[in-house]
Amino acid sequence: MSTARLETFADGVFAIAATLLILNVDSQVKEGSSAIGHQLVEIWPSYIGYAVSFVTIGIIWSNHHTVMGQLGRVNRTFLMLNIFLLMCVAFLPFPTRLVAENLRDRHELQPAALAYGATMTVMAVCYLSLWLYATRDGRLLRDDSDPRTVTGITRSYLPGAPIYLTATLLALVSPLASVALFGAIALFYVVESSFFGSEAIE
């Protein structure tokens, strides 16, 4: 199987998971329950949840291609790790909805933030495992892969899991701070890309 083949399936899951996020917003507005204008203002947490998770999925998608671009072949173990990663990606709309629906209820926000954070932490672990498995002893690397790029990717992926774990555990003390941190991480990536992202991507 070529790496391109694997990307088609992955791209499909990324695109669908991102697009399904709108259902979370949509289900918040009920016909005839109260004035639409009022409801549209009331559900502002859903917009933020939509934006944060959409951008997060977009970033994971773009990182996925950076990873695939360094690989020259895949094997069945890699395929399985990739399926685990996609399982986390497709799961994300669910905790996103929980956080958005309960942002103003301090009591209910805690389990929601824990669910969101757990999903992101497991996803970061899957990501790192995928990458470390593929690069260990150059196992699946392209013959002409650039060692500096490979090391750079490893270095930038290592902090992912600890950061998300920290943000998740923070929910035990302050769910709101935890959720704010999830948003800040996404914002950081957007800003970083916008200011330092002018190099062409191969």
Query: Residue 131 CB, nearest distance to its own copies (Å)?
Result: 16
- What lies within 8 Å, CB to CB, of 54 at 6+ separation is 18, 21
Query: Residue 93 CB, nearest distance to its own copies (Å)?
Result: 6
From 118, 8, 109, select the one nearest 68 (Cα to Cα).
Answer: 8
Query: Residue 78 CB, nearest distance to its own copies (Å)?
Result: 8
**CB atoms near residue 31 (< 10 Å):** 6
Of the pair 18, 123, the CB lying nearest its own copies is at 18
Of the pair 12, 159, the CB lying nearest its own copies is at 12
Q: Which two tokens stand for residue 92?
A: 């994300």
Of the pair 12, 162, the CB lying nearest its own copies is at 12
Of the pair 101, 164, the CB lying nearest its own copies is at 101
Query: Residue 194 CB, nearest distance to its own copies (Å)?
Result: 5
- What lies within 8 Å, CB to CB, of 81 at 6+ separation is 126, 129, 130, 133
